[in-house]
Amino acid sequence: MSLSFGGNGYGLPGKVEYRLWLYIAGSTPRSTSAILNLMKICNKYLEGRYQLQIVDVFQHPEVAREEQIVATPTLVRKFPQPRRVLVGDLSDTARVLAGLDIENLAA
């Protein structure tokens, strides 16, 4: 499975667009939880300003090797730089916002 979600590709003027990749391992409860938690966060804090790619490492193991993914679920922020990596079900919103360096958007 490889799915894409997100903004319209145009972004909002003056706003940073985020490129996020979520690596999951099949349709496990942790994978499902990570997807739902991330979708809530993106819709609330990054609406119209993100692109999300969801990659199942069981179906695309070559991508996991290339990206050096050793645990799932793993969220990778590829843009803006620097690259940031978070591992887990993404249930702690404050931790995810801080890890992605978007905590200032919560205000």
How do residues 60-83 score in pLDDT, each as one tens digit? 999 999 999 999 999 999 999 999
The confidence score (pLDDT) of residue 102 equals 84
Per-residue pLDDT band for 9 (boundaries 50, 70, 90) equals very low
Burial of 107 per CB tally in 10 Å (0-12, 13-18, 19+)? exposed
CATH code at position 48:
3.40.30.10
Domain of residue 30, residue span: 2-106
Tokens encoding 20: 């996020």
Tell me if 48 sits within 8 A of 17, measured CB to CB: no
List C-alpha distances in Å: 9 to 13, 18, 75: 12, 11, 20
Domain total for the chain? Answer: 1
Residue labelled with tokens 């730089």: 81
